[in-house]
Amino acid sequence: MERSREMAVKGKLVVIGQGYVGLPLSMRAVEVGYTVIGFDLDKSRVDQLASGTTYIEDVSSSQIKSALETDRFIPSFDPSDIDGFDFCVITVPTPLRDGLPDLSYITSASSMIGPRIKKGSSVILESTTYPGTTSELVLPELERLSNLVAGVDFFLGYSPERIDPGNPKFNFVNTPKLVSGINKASLEVISNFYKDLVDETVELKSPAEAEMAKLLENTFRHVNVALVNELAVFANELGIDVWEAIRGAASKPFGFMPFFPGPGVGGHCLPIDPSYLSWKVKLQLGENFRFVELANDINHHMPQFVSRRVMLGLNERGKAVKGSNIVLVGLAYKPNTSDARESPGVSVAASLIELGARVIALDPLVRKEDVNLPLEWKDFSKEIIKEADVVVILSPHRDFDLDEIVKSASYILDTRHVLKGDNIEYL
C-alpha cells in the first residue's frame, strides 16, 4: 500500500520494536514532527497499529489514530521501509534464556539496520543490557555491514529506557533521559535528538556508564526488596511486625528509602536486569557479583515462603492444603498491571496446586492464556470469598473490593499489608 512519505521537517526516524518502550517513543516523535517507521517483527502488532488499535496500557488508540492521520506514522514489518533513516532507535527485548542474557533481538536488529545505514545517520540502543554491549557488540556489526566508520560516518550511542508502565506521574517526556555517544560527535547529535523529545537529558561520558547506570537503578531496587523480604522472614519467626518497623524507619527524612516485603519479585525488569550485570562481571572478571546472586536467591524463594505460610495457617485451623479452597487475589507481578511475566503469584499458585489445593484465581487484568496452570479463573464474588479456606492477597488491583474480602473471608494472608481486620495475617 503506497503511503505518503513526505519527509517531515525533522527527518525519518525508525523505531525497532513497538512495545511498551518503542511505541511511546514513536508517538512522541510523530508529535514533534518526525516521520516515524514503527517497526516490529510481530505482524499482528503492526496490523493493530495500522488499524489504530493499541495494545500498550500507556498509549491510547486515539493517540495512534492521530499519529496515523499525520501520515507520518508508518507501522511496518518490512525491513525495506527502514531504508534512508536519519535516526534509528533499538527498543527490543533483552530477556534471560536459561538464566543467561539473550541478546539475539539486539543482534538481529543490528544485522537488519547495518546495511541500511547512510552517512550522517544515528543509531541509538535503548534496550537494557550489560555494560559494553553498544561498543563491543553493536558497533562492530554496524561497521561490518555498512562499511562505514562509527562516530565518523554515522553516530552511535546508548540511552536506557525508563518507562514504568501504568505510572500515573512519570512518562516518557517528563522522565530525565540518560544519553551517551561512542564519541563527542555522537553524543552531541544524540543529545540534541532527545532534547527535542523529552524535558531533560543527562549526558554521560560513554555508553558503558549509561548501560551500567540503568542496571544500577534496577539492581538497587532488587537488592533492597530482597533485604526487606529476608527481614520479613526473620521478623515473622521472631514475632516482630516488620511492616511497623518499616513504617518507623520511613519516618527518617534522610538517608532511607522504604521498600516493602512481598510474595517475590516479578516483571520485565527486576528479575532480569541485575543478572546482566552479574553475568558480565563473571564473564569478564571471573568474580561473583554476590549482592545480585543473593538478591536473586532471596526474592526467588519468596513464593515458597508464602506457600509455607498458607500451609501453617491452614494447619492452625486443622486443615490440610490438600483439598482446601484457596483464593488468590491478583496474579499479575504487581498491582494494577496486566503483566504476569515472572509473576511470583503464579509461582505461589503452582506450589499450592502441587500440594493438592483447589486454587481459584481472581484477576480481571491478567490474560488467562499467559498463565499455564490448572487453576480456576473466577470473577470476584462474596460467595467465592466465603467458601475459601484462605484468601491470599498477592497483587491487589485498585478495582478489587477489599472491604468485601475482609468482611467475608474467614482467613486472609495479606502479603502486601493492604488490609485491616482481625482475620488477617501479614507476610
- Asked whether the beta carbons of 154 and 119 are under 8 A apart, the reply is yes
Minimum distance of ligand SAJ from residue 161's CB (angstroms): 6
**Measured distance CA(12)–CA(27) in Å, rounded:** 13
Q: How far is the CB of 347 from ligand SAJ (least distance, A)?
A: 11
**Active-site annotation holder among 269, 329, 362, 393:** 269
303-341 CB burial, b ≥16 within 10 A, e <16 = bebbbebbbebbeeeebebeebbbbbbbbbbbbbbbbbb
Q: Is 88 a catalytic residue?
A: no
User: Quick check: 90 binds ligand SAJ (CB under 6 A)?
Assistant: no
User: What is the rounded distance in angstroms from the CA atom of residue 273 to the CA atom of residue 130?
Assistant: 8
Q: Please tell me whether residue 36 adopts helix, strand or coil conformation.
A: strand
Which residue, 186 or 337, has its beta carbon nearer to ligand SAJ?
337
246-259 b/e (C-beta count within 10 Å ≥ 16 → b): beeeeeeeeeeeeb
| Residue 324 Cβ vs ligand SAJ, minimum distance, rounded to whole Å | 25
Is 231 a binder of ligand SAJ (CB under 6 A)? no
CB 142 within 8 A of CB 150: yes
Q: Which residue has the cell 537494557?
A: 128
Nearer residue to ligand SAJ within complex by CB, 116 or 222: 222
CB of 96 to ligand SAJ, least distance (A): 14
Q: Is 71 in the site for ligand SAJ (CB under 6 A)?
A: no
Nearer to ligand SAJ, 181 or 262 (CB): 262
Nearest to ligand SAJ of 170, 377 (CB atom): 170
CB 60 to ligand SAJ: min, Å: 20
Q: Give me the 265-294 binding string for ligand SAJ, x by CB under 6 A, dash otherwise.
A: xxx-xx------------------------
Q: Which residues of 345-361 are buried (b: 16+ CB within 10 A; e: fewer)?
A: bbbbbbbbbebebbbbb
Query: What DSSP element (H or E) covers 328?
Result: strand 325-329
From the list 85, 87, 154, 259, which residue makes contact with ligand SAJ (rule: CB under 6 A)? 259
Among 218, 219, 307, 324, binds ligand SAJ (CB under 6 A): 218
Q: CB under 8 Å to 321, separation ≥6 — which residues?
A: 310, 311, 314, 352, 355, 356, 357
**Residue sitting closest to ligand SAJ (CB):** 262
**Closer residue to ligand SAJ (CB): 183 or 336:** 336
Residue (50 or 173) nearer to ligand SAJ, CB = 173
Read off the C-alpha cell for 326. Answer: 484457596
Report the site for ligand SAJ in 125-184 (rule: CB under 6 A).
161-164, 167
State the pairing for strand pair 122-125/155-158.
Answer: parallel
Grid coordinates representing 280 are 558480565
Give yes or no for a contact between 50 and 18, defined as CB atoms under 8 angstroms apart. no
Which of 52/345 has CB closer to ligand SAJ?
345
Pick from 45, 72, 334, 417 the residue near ligand SAJ by CB under 6 A: 334
* Contact in structure between 330 and 393 (CB atoms under 8 Å): yes
Cell 526488596 identifies what position?
Answer: 225
Radius of gyration of the chain (CA): 24
- The answer to whether 215 contacts ligand SAJ (rule: CB under 6 A) is no
Shortest spacing between CB 32 and ligand SAJ, in angstroms: 22
Return the number of the residue (74 or 226) whose C-beta is nearest ligand SAJ: 226
Query: At closest approach, how far in Å is the CB of 356 from ligand SAJ?
Result: 27
The smaller minimum CB distance to ligand SAJ, of residues 17 and 262, is found at 262
CA distance 63 to 28: 10
Residues 221 and 215: beta-carbon distance below 8 Å: no
| Minimal distance, residue 248 CB to ligand SAJ, in Å | 16
Kindly state the cell numbers that stand for 27: 508517538
Contact range with ligand SAJ by CB under 6 A, out of 48-56, 97-105, 146-154, 218-226: 218-226
Task: Pick the closest to residue 373 from 392, 389, 385, 360 (CA basis).
Answer: 360
Segment contacting ligand SAJ by CB under 6 A, of 29-37, 217-225, 240-248, 279-287: 217-225
Q: How many residues bind ligand SAJ (CB under 6 A)?
A: 19
Phi/psi at 217 (5° precision): -55, -45
Binds ligand SAJ by CB under 6 A, chosen from 333, 400, 411, 426: 333
Q: Does 426 bind ligand SAJ (CB under 6 A)?
A: no
For residue 169, give the 3-state DSSP assignment.
coil
Under rule CB under 6 A, residue 225 binds ligand SAJ: yes
| Sites of contact with ligand SAJ (CB under 6 A) | 161-164, 167, 217-218, 221, 225, 259-260, 262, 265-267, 269-270, 333-334
The residues annotated as belonging to the active site are: 269
